[in-house]
Structure 1
Amino acid sequence: MSLMKAAVISGESDPLSVIAEIPIPKINDDEILIKAKAFAINPTDWKHIDYKIGQKGDILGSDVSGIVEQVGSNIKNFKKGDFVSSFICGNVSKTNGAFAEYVAASPNATIKYNHLTNDSKESKSGPINTFDGAASVTLGLVTVGITYSYYFDLGKNKKDGDFILIWGGSTATGILAIQLAKLIYNLKIITTASPKNHEFLKNLGADYTFDYNDPEVVNKIRETSQNKLHFAFDTIAQQDTFQKVYDSTSTTTGDIHIDSLLLLDDKSIKLDSSRNNSNIHWGKTLAYLAIDKFKIMGDKIERPGDLLDYYLPWWNDVLPKYLKDLKHGNLKILKNGLGSVDEGLKLSKKGVSNEKIVFSI
Structure 2
Amino acid sequence: MSSTPVTSRALYADEDGKLVIRQVPFPEPQEGELLIKVLYSGVNPADTKIIEYFGLKNYVIGTEFCGEVLESKILASTSFKVGDIVAGTLSGGQNPPLRWGTHQEFMTIVASWAWKVPENLPPHVAAGLSIVGLTAATGLFNDIGLPLPPIVAKGTPDEGVAAPEGTLVIWGSATSVGMAAIQFARAARVSSIIAVASSKRHEYLKTLGATQCFDYSDTDVTKKVKSALQPTKGTIWAFDARGSPESQVLLKKAIPQHDKTVLASVMLGGDPEYRAIMGARHFDVEFELPGGQKMAWPKDMAAADRHWRGFRWAVENYGAPGGYVPAPIRVFEGSGEDAIKEVYNVKNMSTFGKLVLKHPLK
Q: Tell me whether 1:210 sits opposite 2:214 in the alignment.
A: yes
3-state SS in 2 of match to 1:227: coil
Residue identity in the other structure for 1:102: F
Residue identity in the other structure for 2:185: A
Structure 2: how far apart are the matches of 1:45 and 1:158?
Answer: 39
Structure 1: how far apart are the matches of 2:249 and 2:204?
Answer: 26
Decide whether aligned partners of structure 1 residues 38 and 265 sit closer, same or farther in structure 2, where only a CA change above 3 A counts.
Answer: closer
Post-superposition offset of 1:171: 0.8
Structure 1: how far apart are the matches of 2:10 and 2:76?
Answer: 29
3-state SS in 1 of match to 2:48: helix
Match of 2:151 in 1: none
Q: Is the 8 A contact 1:8 1:17 kept in 2?
A: yes
Decide whether aligned partners of structure 1 residues 10 and 59 sit closer, same or farther in structure 2, where only a CA change above 3 A counts.
Answer: closer
CA-based RMSD:
3.0
Match of 2:190 in 1: 186
Q: Deviations over 1:29-66 (max 9, x none)?
A: 2x33332111122111222443463323x112122111
Structure 2: how far apart are the matches of 1:246 and 1:351?
Answer: 21
Decide whether aligned partners of structure 1 residues 304 and 59 sit closer, same or farther in structure 2, where only a CA change above 3 A counts.
Answer: closer
From 29, 33, 39, give the equivalent of 1:37: 39
Correspondence 1:1-361 to 2 at 5 A: 2-9=5-12, 11=14, 16-29=19-32, 31-51=33-53, 53-56=55-58, 58-69=59-70, 75-76=78-79, 78-89=80-91, 92-106=96-110, 109-115=113-119, 129-155=121-147, 160-225=164-229, 226-228=231-233, 229-254=235-260, 256-264=261-269, 266-267=271-272, 282-287=274-279, 289-298=281-290, 299-303=293-297, 307-315=300-308, 317-323=309-315, 324=318, 325-336=323-334, 340-361=338-359
Q: Is the 8 A contact 1:171 1:353 kept in 2?
A: no
Structure 1: how far apart are the matches of 2:77 and 2:192?
Answer: 41
Residue identity in the other structure for 1:262: M
Decide whether aligned partners of structure 1 residues 204 and 213 sit closer, same or farther in structure 2, where only a CA change above 3 A counts.
Answer: same
Q: Is the 8 A contact 1:65 1:134 kept in 2?
A: yes
3-state SS in 1 of match to 2:98: coil
Residue identity in the other structure for 2:294: K
Post-superposition offset of 1:15: 7.3
Q: How many residues align?
A: 330
Structure 2: how far apart are the matches of 1:177 and 1:233?
Answer: 9
Structure 2: how far apart are the matches of 1:45 and 1:115?
Answer: 28
Structure 2: how far apart are the matches of 1:109 and 1:216?
Answer: 44
Structure 1: how far apart are the matches of 2:135 and 2:112?
Answer: 12
Post-superposition offset of 1:267: 4.3
Structure 2: how far apart are the matches of 1:318 and 1:350?
Answer: 28
Decide whether aligned partners of structure 1 residues 10 and 148 sit closer, same or farther in structure 2, where only a CA change above 3 A counts.
Answer: closer
Residue identity in the other structure for 1:154: L
Q: Deviations over 1:312-353 (max 9, x none)?
A: 2440x4432342222221233221265553132232244324
Structure 2: how far apart are the matches of 1:184 and 1:111?
Answer: 23
Residue identity in the other structure for 2:358: S
Residue identity in the other structure for 2:43: I
Decide whether aligned partners of structure 1 residues 247 and 105 sit closer, same or farther in structure 2, where only a CA change above 3 A counts.
Answer: same
Post-superposition offset of 1:233: 0.8
Structure 2: how far apart are the matches of 1:142 and 1:16?
Answer: 26
Residue identity in the other structure for 2:251: V
Q: Deviations over 1:254-282 (max 9, x none)?
A: 3x2111111256547xxxxxxxxxxxxx4
Residue identity in the other structure for 1:331: I
Q: Is the 8 A contact 1:6 1:21 kept in 2?
A: yes
Decide whether aligned partners of structure 1 residues 177 and 72 sit closer, same or farther in structure 2, where only a CA change above 3 A counts.
Answer: farther
Gaps of 5+ in 1: 117-128, 269-281
Structure 2: how far apart are the matches of 1:103 and 1:202?
Answer: 39
3-state SS in 2 of match to 1:26: coil
Structure 2: how far apart are the matches of 1:189 and 1:106?
Answer: 36
The TM-score with structure 1 as length reference comes to: 0.80
Q: Deviations over 1:165-215 (max 9, x none)?
A: 111011111111111111234342111111111111111111111101222
Residue identity in the other structure for 2:173: G
Decide whether aligned partners of structure 1 residues 111 and 185 sit closer, same or farther in structure 2, where only a CA change above 3 A counts.
Answer: farther
3-state SS in 2 of match to 1:141: helix
Percent of aligned pairs with the same residue?
Answer: 22
Post-superposition offset of 1:130: 2.2
Decide whether aligned partners of structure 1 residues 2 and 337 sit closer, same or farther in structure 2, where only a CA change above 3 A counts.
Answer: same
